[in-house]
Structure 1
Amino acid sequence: MIFIGRFQPLHFGHQFIIDQALEPAEVSSFSLAQPPPPRSARNP
């Protein structure tokens, strides 16, 4: 099972979904990412 999420901030609802995802799967992979930084003069 592959689960991709942006947990900002992690709360009990996210934890419930993670627990449900782990139950039936033999192998699970979670990918956590953050949004790209806003554009600026240094980072156009």
Structure 2
Amino acid sequence: MAISEKELLEAGFSNRDVDTLLERLSATGGTMQGFIAALSRRFR
């Protein structure tokens, strides 16, 4: 399940939130899929 920038914006993230997230993922070599998986584990 791929999450797009558009879906994050529709879910209530701001443009700044999305930009920051993408910058951090790029810097660490992470993926959006990995981020969503980690986030879902955090809120179980």
Report 1 or 2 for greater relative contact order, CA contacts < 8 Å, sequence distance ≥ 6: 1
Same-fold status (TM-score > 0.5)? no
| TM-score normalised by structure 2 residue count | 0.37
Q: Looking at CA atoms only, which structure, 1 or 2, has the larger radius of gyration? A: 1
Name whichever structure is richer in strand by fraction.
Answer: 1
| TM-score normalised by structure 1 residue count | 0.37
Name whichever structure is richer in helix by fraction.
Answer: 2
